[in-house]
Amino acid sequence: MFKCPHCDKKGISVWGKLTIGMYNPAICKECGNEVSIPFTSLIVLTVLFTAEFMSVLFFVDSIILKIPIWIVMASLSLFFYLRYVPLIPKYK
């Protein structure tokens, strides 16, 4: 669970943070307010994940190596996203 920027209680689930988008905010289970992530973080994450995917696609020839590398890279990306991308209050 992650702290809500509105009420400072742990009301945002991991799944809630993972599914946050521009038009899909997470809802705090404690206070009911909407929470989002900064737009710049969303753009940076999209560019980085695409660059990771494409670099493996073009620089690794064996499919036997591509799949585990993609799994490791996706896991690391999700870890850093959950750990370091801040939650911000979304106002109506």
Q: 66-70, long-range: CB within 8 Å, 24+ apart, which pairs? A: none
Sequential pLDDT tens for the chain (92 residues): 999 999 999 999 999 999 998 788 999 999 999 999 988 888 888 888 888 888 888 888 888 888 898 899 889 888 988 999 999 998 76
Supply the pTM of this predicted model: 0.78
Give, for 78, the enclosing helix (H) or strand (E): helix 63-84
pLDDT at 11: 93
Reading the block at residue 59, the tokens are 């620089």
Question: How many Cβ atoms from other residues are within 10 Å of residue 18's Cβ?
Answer: 11
Q: What pLDDT is attached to residue 92?
A: 64
What is the structure's pLDDT at 34?
Answer: 93
Question: Which residues, in sequence order, are bridge partners of residue 2?
Answer: 12
